[in-house]
Amino acid sequence: MPREKILELMEYVRMAPSAVNYQPWHFIILTNRGNIENLAKAYPRPWLISAPVIIVACINRKESWRRIKDNKDFGDVDVAIAIDHLTLAATSMGLGTCWVCNFDVEISKKMLELPDHMEPLAIIPLGYPINAVPEKKRKPMDEIVSWEKYYPYK
């Protein structure tokens, strides 16, 4: 995949909002086959290795904003929003992605030479989809929405 196309996609990621606009993120882009295969040791799946590009989204814990009252760290939220920009923009560009979190963090940190304050949140393979997107399976609207106050579904 041409580097310009990847950078066009990353421009949507760069514009993502974040708490206090701290932008506590870093994205490591792998296009080298050997590096992709090495990283896939953290999540060994044939379909992962078949991707021409892998993007690793990291939280910079030195830069993430913490809410004053309870010290809640919003780094996960910020990076999740940026990843959502990535996946939606990729779809609109005719590309395919998958959000992967069930990987071995230690293996990936070692392979990417990440310092302790850089936490890999998700591995996102990026490529050209060969199948049409199947129908979405989602909870019905009345299960996820309440009006005026909370009332449980059923």
Ligand X SMILES: Cc1cc2nc3c(=O)[nH]c(=O)nc-3n(C[C@H](O)[C@H](O)[C@H](O)COP(=O)(O)O)c2cc1C
Binding site for ligand X (CB under 6 A): 98-102, 136
Q: How does DSSP classify residue 127?
A: E
The residue (of 7 and 128) whose beta carbon lies closer to ligand X is: 128
Report the first-to-last Cα separation within the chain, whole angstroms: 48
Token pair in block for residue 144:
């996820």
Q: How far is the CB of 138 from ligand X (least distance, A)?
A: 7
Q: How far is the CB of 78 from ligand X (least distance, A)?
A: 14
Q: How far apart are CA 130 and CA 64, in angstroms?
A: 37
Q: How far apart are CA 26 and CA 36, in angstroms?
A: 18
Q: How far is the CB of 7 from ligand X (least distance, A)?
A: 24
The residue (of 20 and 105) whose beta carbon lies closer to ligand X is: 105
Q: E strands within 3-87?
A: 25-30, 53-60
Residues shown for the chain: 154
Residue nearest to ligand X (CB): 102
User: Can you tell me which residue has the tokens 């760290």?
Assistant: 73
Q: Are 26 and 58 in contact (CB under 8 A)?
A: yes
Q: How far is the CB of 69 from ligand X (least distance, A)?
A: 26
The residue (of 21 and 102) whose beta carbon lies closer to ligand X is: 102
The residue (of 7 and 129) whose beta carbon lies closer to ligand X is: 129
The residue (of 115 and 134) whose beta carbon lies closer to ligand X is: 134
Q: How far is the CB of 81 from ligand X (least distance, A)?
A: 12
